[in-house]
A and B are shown apart, each in its own frame.
Chain A
Amino acid sequence: SQQGEEDPQALSIQEGENATMNCSYKTSINNLQWYRQNSGRGLVHLILIRSNEREKHSGRLRVTLDTSKKSSSLLITASRAADTASYFCATDENTGRRALTFGSGTRLQVQP
């Protein structure tokens, strides 16, 4: 089963609104990353937050990490139609496993 589970599975909003996606995971981690995937394309890295960080910003993106709750959130502010994509969280587990473990993703639709 996937380490990370995203919530919601799908989200539809109007352009200009904020979009919030949540990710829960099960094991101790070194860092958590968010990726974006446009339909039919590969994944593109958005942002990485380390286990000792609680919040990180990059442009219109804001990521939070709560290691006590084993959860993270990705906030996209002032969304645009071009933000329409699937968003995945990925965990670097603190178990010796060297591969990132990906969640099932949130499909975001931004209506123009």
Chain B
Amino acid sequence: GAGVSQSPSNKVTEKGKDVELRCDPISGHTALYWYRQSLGQGLEFLIYFQGNSAPDKSGLPSDRFSAERTGGSVSTLTIQRTQQEDSAVYLCASRGTTGRTGELFFGEGSRLTVL
């Protein structure tokens, strides 16, 4: 597609349930990022994928959070046993340049509400 696509755009779930959020980056982009944005706040880095390198998972807040990127393209962020504090907008971004960090292209986000 022309841009970064995220689904679902909105997800309401009950505390304790697992959720999966999907990101489809711009075709050909080798780098993919997940960020979390709480209401009215800045972006919190979660995880970064670059090509076939081991992902940088340093931002994942707990072991309930995991992400994978299959075939170097689509990524899925999974949150197990959701808690109310997981409620936020989860933003995915991709980047095409290699080497030094360039412009990130963001999706519209997946808004997660945990009741």
Q: Does A26 contact B (CB under 8 A)?
A: no
C-alpha gap A101/B45 in the complex (Å): 7
Closest-CB distance, B22 to chain A (whole angstroms): 15
Listed in ascending order, the chain B residues whose CB lies under 8 Å from chain A are 4, 31, 33, 35, 41-43, 45, 48, 50, 56, 59, 91, 93, 100-109
Known: A42-B4, A45-B105, A99-B59. A30 touches B100 (CB 8 A): yes
Listed in ascending order, the chain A residues whose CB lies under 8 Å from chain B are 2, 4, 30-31, 33, 35, 41-45, 48, 88, 90, 92, 97-105
Q: Is the beta-carbon distance between B48 and A99 smaller than 8 angstroms?
A: yes
Closest-CB distance, B90 to chain A (whole angstroms): 11
Known: A99-B33, A103-B42, A105-B42. A43 touches B106 (CB 8 A): yes
Closest-CB distance, A88 to chain B (whole angstroms): 6
Q: Is the beta-carbon distance between B100 and A31 smaller than 8 angstroms?
A: yes
Known: A98-B48, A98-B50, A98-B56. A31 touches B43 (CB 8 A): no
